[in-house]
Amino acid sequence: MALSAGAGCLLLLLTLLLLLLLARLRGPGRPPRLPPGPRPLPLLGNLGQLWPGALYAGLLQLGAKYGPVFTVHLGSRPVVVLSGYEAVKEALVDQGEAFAGRGKVASLEKTFNQHGIFFANGEQWKHLRKFTTLSLRNLGMGKKEGEEHIQEEASHLVEALKNTQGSLLDPSLLLSQAISNVTCILLFGNRFDYEDEKFRAVVLAAAGTLKEISTPWGQLCEMFLGPLCYLSDILRYVSAPHNRLTDHLNTLATFVSGQIQHHQEKLDPHSPARDFVDDFLLKMSQEEKAAASGHTDFLLTAVNLLFGGTVTVSATLAYAFLLLLKYPEVQDQIQEELSRELGRDRAPSMGDRGHLPYIDAFLHEVQRFLALIPMGVPRALTKPTSFRGYDLPQGIEVFPLLGSVLHDPEFFERPEEFDPSRFLDADGRFKKNEAFLPFSLGKRICLGEGLARTELFLFFTTILQNFSLESPSPPGALNLQPAISGFANIPPAFQLRFRPR
């Protein structure tokens, strides 16, 4: 008989506490010369200061008390936390080699197990990154060809929005499908119709994965990584979030596996690669003995890219639209700039960005204000390292709080306010800010940063060139707070109308 949600959560917590107590009889000791931090409880770490559902907020509060570099214990596991631009830059850039390891995202650990480009380490990661970067560049990422693919997909999206005939809708699915199609063209060589049920399921699975790893359950996993990694059989029966996450990941992996199998059946070894899957298969066919781990890394790299290429830009675009509904005067200024510089008939291109400084400033402020991945993706030390007078052991995990960088008051005046003008100079020209780091920095900077920037600009300008956005709710009633704040800040659901201009 299925357990209720409340009973399941209670059973999960009781089981967790029991296994924690059985796992260790003594509390964690702090290795010498780690940064300061709150004293941990035996087995429970800093559960008194950090609580599932408010992990990032708790880390910010501890940063205010202990400074920009401090230590917390998630269960028995020590983690070094970096807060603010200076500390994050010093670690990820000035000592980039030492901080280039990948830490664990606990709720995904059992699935990826240090495979795939997001989670691999050492030479395995260097090989994957080099191959993936070269392959995607050869396929048009960062080039005019890639820009044309985005423009074409934006035109498909405009037609789909016109077909809504001004009816109320939640834009998140269509936005995710459009963004995902750009990634699918690179990975698999083709786009999918928005009415394709399998494609819809994949897009929803990507969004569902981001949601589940960001929930209080995902944060509970993060705080008790070790025991929970061995609880999968129990969690399968008592944890609905675990089941949902597993289903989402299986949907993504099954879709990617099907695409790979289809490519294998039609692969012509004498023809150039048409897409990322072709490129990998051709390279594997040239090797006499391909390690099984190579196939695993390739499959999971494709899953990583499909996931990241679906959820990040689409969530940012959705939040941009919500902000336009909240601040209609900003929408008016954006459309006035578009009409003046582009008119109604010429499709936007990246060459127009320099002539659209207010739109450029707005999109930067959207990313800064949202701080989509507030805790950053965890890093790990590749070697013993001295950092700001502390001795950090090899392998210790590091949380570079990107949200604290994007909201650093030393670089952004009144950071909790939404203000696109902070990215404009006195003459209305766009100005950069060195602390604008939504894609992280250093050796683990987001592989798709250039693609994401291009997608965000072209989809946004194309939609605002063709439509005005209307909300059924007055601006004052619209809530900008994330629906979920954990690994990611998930924008709240909302509805709007796309009115043709």
pLDDT bracket for residue 241 (50, 70, 90): confident
Those residues whose C-beta lies under 8 Å from the C-beta of residue 497, and which sit 6 or more positions away, are 164, 166, 167, 168, 169, 469, 470, 471, 472
Q: Is the predicted pLDDT of residue 27 greater than 50, yes or no?
A: no
DSSP state letters, 55-123: HHHHHHHHHHHH-SEEEEEETTEEEEEEESHHHHHIIIIITTTTT-EE---HHHHHHHTT-STTT--HH
The residue that leads in pLDDT, 217 or 459, is 459
Copy the structure tokens of residue 243.
């089941």
Beta strands in 410-479 (DSSP E): 467-470
- Percent of the chain's residues with pLDDT above 90: 77
Write down the pLDDT at residue 436.
Answer: 98
Across 393-407, average pLDDT? 97
Q: Is the predicted pLDDT of residue 472 greater than 70, yes or no?
A: yes
- How far, in Å, CA of 315 to CA of 336, rounded? 25
CATH fold for the domain made of 5-500: Cytochrome p450 (1.10.630)
pLDDT by residue (tens digit) across 291-309? 445 788 889 999 999 999 9
Q: Is the predicted pLDDT of residue 25 greater than 90, yes or no?
A: no
Write down the pLDDT at residue 289.
Answer: 46
The residue that leads in pLDDT, 228 or 390, is 390
Left if phi > 0, otherwise alpha if psi is -120 to 50, otherwise beta: which for 241? alpha
Write down the pLDDT at residue 19.
Answer: 52
Q: Is the predicted pLDDT of residue 4 greater than 80, yes or no?
A: no
Q: Is the predicted pLDDT of residue 116 greater than 70, yes or no?
A: yes
Q: Is the predicted pLDDT of residue 491 greater than 60, yes or no?
A: yes
Write down the pLDDT at residue 225.
Answer: 66
Write down the pLDDT at residue 91.
Answer: 98
Interior/surface letters 210-236, b for 16+ CB within 10 angstroms, e for the rest: bbbbbbbbbbbbbbbbbbbeebeebbe
Write down the pLDDT at residue 163.
Answer: 96
Q: Beta partners for 470?
A: 497
Across 332-346, average pLDDT? 94
pLDDT bracket for residue 235 (50, 70, 90): low
The residue that leads in pLDDT, 141 or 456, is 456
Residue 479, number of CB atoms within 10 A of its CB: 11
pLDDT bracket for residue 222 (50, 70, 90): confident
pLDDT bracket for residue 223 (50, 70, 90): confident
Write down the pLDDT at residue 380.
Answer: 97
Please give the angle made by the CA atoms of 412, 415 and 417, to the nearest 5 degrees. 130
pLDDT by residue (tens digit) across 52-91? 889 999 999 999 999 999 999 998 899 999 999 999 999 9
Write down the pLDDT at residue 221.
Answer: 85
Q: Is the predicted pLDDT of residue 290 greater than 70, yes or no?
A: no
The residue that leads in pLDDT, 416 or 53, is 416
Q: Is the predicted pLDDT of residue 2 greater than 80, yes or no?
A: no
Those residues whose C-beta lies under 8 Å from the C-beta of residue 79, and which sit 6 or more positions away, are 71, 72, 73, 378, 396, 397, 398, 399
Across 235-248, average pLDDT? 77
Q: Is the predicted pLDDT of residue 168 greater than 50, yes or no?
A: yes
Q: Is 44 in contact with 75 (CB distance < 8 Å)?
A: yes
Across 152-162, average pLDDT? 98
Write down the pLDDT at residue 435.
Answer: 98
Q: Is the predicted pLDDT of residue 361 greater than 80, yes or no?
A: yes
Indicate the average pLDDT of the chain.
Answer: 90
Those residues whose C-beta lies under 8 Å from the C-beta of residue 339, and which sit 6 or more positions away, are none
Q: Is the predicted pLDDT of residue 381 greater than 50, yes or no?
A: yes
The residue that leads in pLDDT, 20 or 166, is 166
pLDDT bracket for residue 32 (50, 70, 90): low
Write down the pLDDT at residue 24.
Answer: 46
Domain segments of the chain as ranges = 5-500
Across 160-183, average pLDDT? 97
DSSP state letters, 22-62: HH-SSPPPPPTTPPP-PPPBTTTBTTTT--TT-HHHHHHHH
Across 98-113, average pLDDT? 91
